[in-house]
Amino acid sequence: MELFAEFDRPDVPGACVLMARNGEVLVSKSCGLANLKDKIPCLPHTNFRLASLTKQFTAMCIMMLVERGQLKLDQRLPNFFPLFPKYGATITVRHLLTHTSGLADYEDLIREGTTEQLTDVDVLEILQRQNGTCFPPGEKFRYSNGGYALLALIVENVSGKRFAVWLRENIFQPIGMHNTLAYERGVSEIPHRALGYTQRGTTFEETDQSPTSAVLGDGGIYSSIADLVQWDRALYGEKLVSGQMLREAFTDAGAGYGFGWFVDNEKVWHYGETCGFTTRIERHLKDRLTIIILCNRRDADLAPIAAKLRDGTQ
């Protein structure tokens, strides 16, 4: 496929692409390498760090707990974090889902020189040291990775289980995503793992982890196109949540974002960018067409590729 020429070489980080209609695979292609040192090729079951594509799974956890009567969208931060400062008293679960909480970007608040990896709990502690929000909650949209770290902790608070375990037991295993996981170092192992890379001139440097790579709620899931097509299929039915809840997730809350998804007319989508990975998923609801692209290099320009695949120009 000409669109993937820059990835389709025997000496560079690769990519996996899948197109499906009504959950049925139309195109599945893998090219390039998952591991440059060991010359391991990318394959449909290769697991990439999803980065911010993780947010749609975190949001689904919240929606499932809401429909099970264990949680409400209008509950506020002190319900879950009693030590949270006064400024959190008006921040709701819904604000976190839709990036309208006004929380400061935790990445900008990490102490200079930090090399140890942060966890979701560390993000909570950073935010609890702040004096207020960037704007009144609900006033406007501001993308917040920290908000989704808090949502993962809310899942743990409500369910009594680790976020990674709740995901596995309630989403991944029931819908057949058997090789997908929220990675916890020292606890889990990633099967068929792609390592992440950044291009430096004409070579690629391994940049697989950063201080924020262990935060789970905003970007810690690893998955493959083989597993993500199972996710796509589940979103056409009501195995996880009701159709009404899904419609709310795919509805623009006022700034082009729903629950874990950007919303653009008949398309819901998300991108992911981190130290060694770039990812993208688009679900064209009217046409029931889904495009998934996973890449183990930083700053890959996937949006134009997805658009050309959608238009059928390649």
Q: CB of 283 within 8 A of CB of 267?
A: yes
Separation CA 246–CA 284 (nearest Å): 14
Q: Give residue 174's pLDDT.
A: 98
Domain boundaries, the chain: 48-280
13: which DSSP letter? B
Q: If residue 223 lies in a helix (H) or strand (E), which one and from where to where?
A: strand 221-223
Burial class for 311, CB neighbours closer than 10 Å (0-12, 13-18, 19+) = exposed
Q: CB of 199 within 8 A of CB of 11?
A: no
Separation CA 33–CA 15 (nearest Å): 8
CA neighbor of 145 nearest in space, from 49, 61, 213: 213
Tokens of 23: 């959950």
Q: Give residue 168's pLDDT.
A: 98
Separation CA 57–CA 27 (nearest Å): 24
Phi-psi region of 113 (alpha: psi -120 to 50; beta: other; left: phi over 0): left
Please give the backbone phi and psi of residue 8, each rounded to the nearest 5 degrees, phi first. Answer: -90, 60
Separation CA 137–CA 154 (nearest Å): 18
Separation CA 220–CA 153 (nearest Å): 13
Please give the backbone phi and psi of residue 215, each rounded to the nearest 5 degrees, phi first. Answer: -75, 120
Q: Give residue 247's pLDDT.
A: 96
Helix/strand/coil (H, E, C) string of 181-222?
EECCCCCCCCCCECCCEEEECCEEEECCCCCCCCCHHHHCEE
Tens of pLDDT, residue by residue, the chain (314 residues) = 688 999 999 999 999 999 999 999 999 999 999 999 999 999 999 999 999 999 999 999 999 999 999 999 999 999 999 999 999 999 999 999 999 999 999 999 998 888 899 999 999 999 999 999 999 999 999 999 999 999 999 999 999 999 999 999 999 999 999 999 999 999 999 999 999 999 999 999 999 999 999 999 999 999 999 999 999 999 999 999 999 999 999 999 888 999 999 999 889 999 999 999 999 999 999 999 999 999 999 999 999 999 999 998 44
Q: Give residue 275's pLDDT.
A: 93
Burial class for 10, CB neighbours closer than 10 Å (0-12, 13-18, 19+) = exposed
Superfamily of domain 48-280: DD-peptidase/beta-lactamase superfamily (3.40.710.10)
Separation CA 149–CA 295 (nearest Å): 23
CA neighbor of 97 nearest in space, from 268, 291, 285, 248: 248
Q: CB of 99 within 8 A of CB of 255?
A: yes
Residue type, 113: G
